[in-house]
Amino acid sequence: MPVKKLKTFLDGNNIKYVSIKHSNAYTSQEIASSAHVSGKEFAKTVMIKMDEKMAMAVLPASYHIDFEKMKKTLESDKVTLANEAEFKYHFPDCEVGAMPPFGNLYNMDVFVAEALTRNEEIAFNAGTHTELIKMRYKDFEQLVKPKIFQFSWRTISFPKDPSERWQDDL
């Protein structure tokens, strides 16, 4: 059901996309890995409150939001992470935490991290924790018309096993 609304919208706009089924996953990095998509191409949707108004921040899975930079750029008094109880009723056709980055379908502003625009293609949740959509970034931008600016920073992860962290030095 959730995927149908998005696919109908994409089909109605003659957009080429690929639907990818994957094992049940919840974090953006788990989803990217499960679907064999790079962390920089997987567009995670983070729900934010901007002066108490709900909005979407869309950024690569391997990035984090700089809330101070968002606040300054958007000239807002307060920009915070929204909790599930605050936004889940906005998405009755989606599993909580699996919203696609199409705020235009839900009457919400969408802010895209500049880092995401460097990708030819992006992939994102299609409304469930087991399916994603992959499409051209330019098509996404044309349909959603997000505000694009730099509001994120890339995370650096280390292998869990400390002995693997310096293998290049061996």
Of residues 162 and 47, the one with the higher pLDDT is 47
Residue bearing tokens 């980055």: 101
Say how far apart CA 40 and CA 32 lie, in whole Å. Answer: 9
pLDDT, tens digit, 9 for 90 and up, residues 91-131: 998 988 899 999 999 999 999 999 999 999 999 999 988 88
Phi-psi region of 136 (alpha: psi -120 to 50; beta: other; left: phi over 0): beta
- pTM: predicted TM-score of the whole model, two decimal places: 0.85
pLDDT of residue 27: 67
Grade residue 81 by pLDDT with cuts at 50, 70 and 90: very high
Domains of the chain: 2-152 (3.90.960.10)
